[in-house]
Amino acid sequence: MGEEMGEEMAEGRPGVAATLRALNGALGRPAALWVKESGARNLHHRDFLAPRAALSAAFPGGQVPPEAVSAVPSLRGPAVLPLRVCRQTPAGLAVQVRRPEAFQRLLGPLPGPAPPAAGPRAGCVVLHCPALRSPAGPRPRHLRSVLLADHLAQLLRAQGVHVRLVPALSEERSWDVLRQLRISWPSGSAGSSLTDAVSALKAVLGRCPCAAACEQGPGTAEGVICKVHLKSFVEQQGLLGYDPNLDVLLVTERTLRSLAELQEAVQQCPVSDPAALLASCFPSAKGQSSCCSIVHVVNCEEEFQQQQLDVLWRILDPGAHTALQKHLVCGPVKVTNPSSPIGADQYFQVRKRQMYEASVIKYGELAQDEAWTEVIDTLTVAAIRFEMLSTAHRSQITLDLENNSISTKGTKSGAFVMYNCARLATLFNTFQQAVERGTYPPLPPVSELNFSCLREEGEWLLLFNYLLPFPEVLQQAAQLPLSSKGIRITANTEAVCKFLIQLSMDFSSYYNRVHVLGEPFPHLFDQMFARLQLLGAVRDVFHSALATLNLPPLSQI
CB-based contact 359:379 (threshold 8 Å): yes
Record the pTM. Answer: 0.89
CA nearest to 194, candidates 222, 220, 218, 166: 166
Q: What percent helix, strand, coil does the chain show, rounded to 5? A: 50, 10, 35
Bridging pattern class, strands 397-399 and 83-89: unpaired
Q: How many residues does the chain have?
A: 557
Query: What local confidence, expressed as pLDDT, does residue 524 receive?
Result: 93
Amino acid occupying residue 134: S
Asked if 225 and 249 touch (Cβ cutoff 8 Å), the reply is: no
Q: Which of 201, 196, 127 has its CA nearest to residue 166? A: 127
pLDDT at 412: 65
In a 3-state reduction of DSSP, which class is residue 118? coil
What does the pLDDT read at residue 405? 57
Q: Is the peptide bond before 481 cis (omega within 30 degrees of 0)?
A: no
Provide long-range contacts, Cβ within 8 A and 24+ apart, for 333-340. Answer: 333/139, 333/140, 333/141, 333/143, 333/144, 333/299, 333/388, 333/396, 333/397, 333/399, 334/396, 334/397, 334/398, 334/399, 335/140, 335/398, 335/399, 335/401, 336/398, 336/399, 336/400, 336/401, 336/402, 338/401
Q: What is the pLDDT of residue 8?
A: 33
Model pLDDT for residues 152-164, shown as the tens digit of each residue: 999 999 999 999 9
pLDDT digits (tens, 9 = 90+) for 302-317: 999 999 999 999 999 8
Round to whole Å and give the CA distance between 266 and 324.
12
Given a contact cutoff of 8 angstroms between Cβ atoms, the answer to whether 315 and 228 are in contact is: yes
| Positions of the chain with pLDDT under 70 | 1-11, 109-122, 171-174, 189-192, 214-222, 271-291, 366-369, 403-412
In terms of Cα–Cα distance, which of 402, 354, 388, 405 is closest to 145?
Answer: 388
Distance CA 167, CA 178 (A): 14
Give dist(CA 258, CA 242) in Å, integer.
20
Tell me the domains of the chain and their CATH numbers.
Answer: 2-97 (no CATH), 124-335 (3.40.50), 344-484+491-547 (1.10.730.10)
- Per the CB < 8 A criterion, the answer to whether 504 and 74 are in contact is no
Nearest to 509 by CA among 443, 461, 446: 461
Angle at 137 (CA atoms; ends 135, 138), nearest 5 degrees: 105
Q: What is the 3-state secondary structure (H, E, C) of 315-327?
A: HHCCCHHHHCCEE
- Asked whether 324 and 288 are in contact (CB, 8 A), the reply is yes
d(CA 222, CA 216): 9
- What's the first-to-final CA gap in the chain, in angstroms? 55
